[in-house]
Every structure is written in C-alpha cells, then in structure tokens.
Amino acid sequence: MAMLSIRDMVKGIKERQFTPLEILDKYWARIEKVEDKIKAFISLKPYQELKKEALFLEKNPEGRMTGVPIALKDNINVRGFMTTCSSKVLQNYKPPFDATVAELLKKEGALILGKTNMDEFAFGSSTENSAYQITRNPYDLSCVPGGSSGGSAAVVASGMAPLALGSDTGGSIRQPSAFCGAVGFKPTYGRVSRYGLVAFASSLDQIGPLAKNVEDIWLALSVISGRDEKDPTSSSNPPINYPGKNWQPSVVGFCPDLLEEGVDENIKDSFYEAISIYKGLGVTVKEVHLPHIKYGLSIYYLLASSEASSNLARFDGLRYGQRVKGETYNEMIENTRGIGLGREAKRRILLGTFALSSGYYDAYYLKALKARALIREDFRQVFTEVDLILMPTTPSQPFKIGAKADDPLQMYKADLFTIPVNLAGLPAVSIPLSLKNDLPVGIQLIGRHFEEEQILNAALMLEQERGEFPPPKLPFLCRSETS
C-alpha cells in the first residue's frame, strides 16, 4: 500500500480495498523505523489523534486526498502544530489559523502527519541552518538533503509520506528534490496562495509540492492552486486541471553557456542524457541564450535579503515567539534577536538592511530590480522560440554535511540554476533522472507563466522513458520493508 500512487491510494480507500487507518499504520511504522536516523520532522501529530482522523475518513471518504498522509514545511501554518521556521526566535509558537494550502488539503481529506525541518526562515541550501537538528540525505546519511525544504524532500525520499509541501524562494523545493531523488514543483508566482506562509521574500516565495512521481505532483497542484481572496498576490487563474490534457512539446531549448564552469561532470552527463531522450521522442532541441542569467545570483541575494530584512523585522519578542528580557525596550529586542536568530539569518538581515539603507538604495536595490526585469525579458524572448527550457537543477550532487557550512558563497552557488526561475516568476519542475555514484541527479524543466500542465506533460515523458527511479540503498530504507 505504501508504494501506491496517491490516485490509487485514494481509489483503494473509496472502493473499500483498504482503509485510511491501514495506510496511516504503514507510514507510521516507517516513521518509527527511520525518522531517528533521517531527522526530517520538527514535530509530529500524536498517533492517537491521527487514528481518530483516519477512522472519521473511513466513514466520510469523499475528498480527493482522502487518507493520504502528508507533511508540511515548518514555515506553513497549521492550527494545532508549532510553526517555528526552524528558528529559536519562534520556539513553541502555535498559530491560531491554517494556511490556505493546509485548509484546502484538510478539506480534501488529507492527514497532516507533521511539520518538516528546514533552514532557518528558509535561509539556506542544505538544511544545516536549522536551530534544532540537521536532516540527512536518505541516499547517504553523511550528505545534506538540500534546502531549504530539506526535511520535506527527505520525508518523501525515505518513504515516510507520499507527499510533502515546501516553499521555493530561490530553488528551495527543486534543489532538495534533486538531492533526494524526488519530484519537486515550483508553480508560477501567484498560482498557489501564500496566505499562512511565513514570508522570506514576498515577491519570490511560492508554495509547491514534493512527491515520488509526476502524477502525484499534478494531483496535489490541482488541490492547492487557485485564487485566494486572503492573498492579494494570488492569481485569478482557475486551479490546475487533473488529469490535464495530453500535450507534447515540439521545441525544447537549452542554454549551453550555463555549463561552462563550476558544473560537475556527472551533472553535465545527465543533462545531455535528458536531451538525448527528448530527441529520441521526436522533440526538437534548440540552443538558446539568456544573456543576463549570469547575474541571477547577485540580483537574487540583493533582492531576497532586502525583503527578508523587512519581513523579519516583525520578530522582536513583543507579539509572538521567544522574548528575552532586557532593561529597556531596545535592549529586549536586541537580546531577543541576538539569541533567537542564527548566523545565516543575521547575515542576510545585515546584507538586506545595508542594501536598503540611505545612500545605497539606488546603487544596489534599485539596480537589482532593473536587472531582474532584464532576466524576465530574456525568458520572454526565448519562449517565443521554444515551448520549454531544459537545464540542470543543481551544479553539483549532494555534498557532505559541513563541507560548505563555513563558505556562504559556495553554498549560495547551489541555487545557480534555480534562482532565475523565481526572479522571472515562472513555473518549473525538478525530476530525478539518474544515479551517479549512488547519489541522485535532477533535471529541471521551465515553462511559460501559468503553463504548468505543459511542464507536467513533458516531465511525464521523461519519467516514463527513465523508468522507475532507484530508491535509497541504506539497509533500514530498503523498499521491501514498506510493502
């Protein structure tokens, strides 16, 4: 049962082949077996509470996600769960409301198992910046799972849940998906409501799903997408259709300039393998150029840090979260932030505050905004020639825990291929293509605004040609134990 697709899982429940409780018990046994080694969850709902929900769903199996166990990144509010963003400044904070995505999933009968570990406030690419624990990659426990949605990716890859939600500001769904052999989707900006998501960079953030296959991603997107009156930035476009129309790309573009330096040979080999697959399927593969994409990292870290410095100003100990006493108002705020925020959070706040400060705003922040518009225009021009753009998801495979922890510039480069998508507000998917040295390699497909179904169809083609992706080989994760 635990290896079923979400569609078949729900179908089996509705046809009384098995019950939501039987599904829950399979995944709960898996969690008990592997979570202490992976450390993907920040918090878990008690089993007895989940059991009550599963028994209720057995009598009321109408929802499209009935009985499906899911996990949510710990920056997405769920009533009854703590939302810490893996930061001590929000230690023990329980929100009084559900994020819109959590509300939609509950309405369709999903079972929310718990909240997943992440880099503090989504500041990172390895999940090493969590204030509570380091999550490990299910394919190699000595490696990082990626970030900042590393906990969500590890939950899916290790079989503790068939579906998880993450957030993607500069690649935080796609990069950990690539590192953990999962499928991760970043929707068009505004396609999924951000209401109830703790903001990192409001013009870049987007919630999206992670799963083991493209079909499960498609179903999840159909549930969580759509207009939300509580989020003024959400699009008026209707929810994504599931199942959608069968569509095959006629022209796929690739940008060879990005592969010139700093990209591992294993990544290049898998990338050209993906090109060969599409050519073999009769798709025209065309070389394209994105002249300003090389500035993406610099643009992103100016804009995202600037927005973060503004968004994190609310965490002062006055209204919610941790409060550290001081003799004066300013001392209390200084103590709260000094103790409650981690090193990477402080680094980004300082960078962003500097970029926004008097005398530097025009030189840095405003210039970055103008350069962002150039990247968006580059993509618009390319999409007049091609249907989709193919590129690697990451420049390297999963790296060892601690290998880049003291080198923030090297860590930032882990998002080299994902950041431009967020700057342009485009939809993109990462799909695992191959194992190299027993570690996953992900391939990214990027599409036009609000053309998620085209990306999903193209990803399905790649998935079907690739065949079943190899699961982790660690003894306690072997697939036979989930059946």
Helix 100-107 and helix 214-224: axis angle, to 10°? 110
pLDDT confidence of residue 481: 43
User: How far is it, in rounded angstroms, from Cα 434 to Cα 43?
Assistant: 32
AA identity, residue 87:
S
User: How far is it, in rounded angstroms, from Cα 424 to Cα 438?
Assistant: 33
User: How far is it, in rounded angstroms, from Cα 457 to Cα 241?
Assistant: 12
Neighbours of 311 (CB within 10 A): 18
Picking from 423, 292, 276, 302, the residue whose alpha carbon sits closest to that of residue 354 is 302
Alpha-carbon distance values, 81 to 85, 141, 218, 222, 314 (Å): 12, 27, 26, 25, 21
Q: Dihedral of the CA atoms 162, 112, 459, 298 (nearest 10)?
A: -120
Extract the tokens encoding 194: 């951000």
Extract the tokens encoding 294: 């090389």
Can you count the helices (H) and strands (E) in the chain? 15, 11
Catalytic annotation, residues: 73, 148, 172
pLDDT confidence of residue 200: 97
Which residue's entry shows tokens 């569509």?
A: 247
CATH of 6-256+381-482, one of 3.40.50.2300, 3.40.50.300, 3.90.1300.10, 1.20.810.10: 3.90.1300.10
How far is Cα of residue 422 from the mean position of the Cα atoms in its chain?
Answer: 12
Picking from 169, 213, 209, 174, the residue whose alpha carbon sits closest to that of residue 189 is 169
Residue 186 φ then ψ, to 5°: -105, 110
Question: Using H for helix, E for strand and C for coil, what is the string for 352-395?
Answer: HHHHHCCCCHHHHHHHHHHHHHHHHHHHHHHCCCCCEEEEECCC
Q: How do residues 342-372 score in pLDDT, each as one tens digit?
A: 999 999 999 999 999 988 899 999 999 999 9
Picking from 32, 103, 19, the residue whose alpha carbon sits closest to that of residue 68 is 19
User: How far is it, in rounded angstroms, from Cα 123 to Cα 349?
Assistant: 10
User: How far is it, in rounded angstroms, from Cα 308 to Cα 365?
Assistant: 13
AA identity, residue 287:
E
pLDDT confidence of residue 166: 98
Q: How many CA atoms lie within 13 A of 250 on its CB side?
A: 3
Picking from 214, 143, 215, 150, the residue whose alpha carbon sits closest to that of residue 177 is 150
Q: What is the mean pLDDT of the chain?
A: 95
> At a CB cut-off of 8 Å and minimum separation 6, what does 137 contact?
143, 144, 145, 146, 154, 157, 179, 180, 398, 439
Picking from 135, 125, 11, 117, the residue whose alpha carbon sits closest to that of residue 408 is 125
Q: Are 131 and 115 in contact (CB under 8 A)?
A: no
Q: In 400-482, which residue ranges form alpha helices assigned H by DSSP? A: 408-412, 419-424, 452-466
Residues of the chain under the 70 pLDDT cut? 2, 478-483
Picking from 121, 75, 172, 149, the residue whose alpha carbon sits closest to that of residue 313 is 121
pLDDT confidence of residue 143: 98
Residue 17 φ then ψ, to 5°: -75, -30
User: How far is it, in rounded angstroms, from Cα 131 to Cα 346?
Assistant: 13
pLDDT confidence of residue 329: 87
Q: Dihedral of the CA atoms 408, 411, 412, 414 (nearest 10)?
A: 170
Q: Are strands 207-211 and 111-116 parallel, antiparallel or unpaired?
A: unpaired
Q: Are 208 and 171 in contact (CB under 8 A)?
A: no
Which residue's entry shows tokens 């706040």?
A: 349
User: How far is it, in rounded angstroms, from Cα 417 to Cα 273?
Assistant: 18
Longest dimension (CA), the chain: 71
User: How far is it, in rounded angstroms, from Cα 397 to Cα 458?
Assistant: 23
> At a CB cut-off of 8 Å and minimum separation 6, what does 76 contact?
83, 99, 101, 102, 115, 165, 167, 196, 197, 198, 207
Domain residue spans in the chain?
Answer: 6-256+381-482
Extract the tokens encoding 377: 């225009």
- pTM over cut 0.85: yes
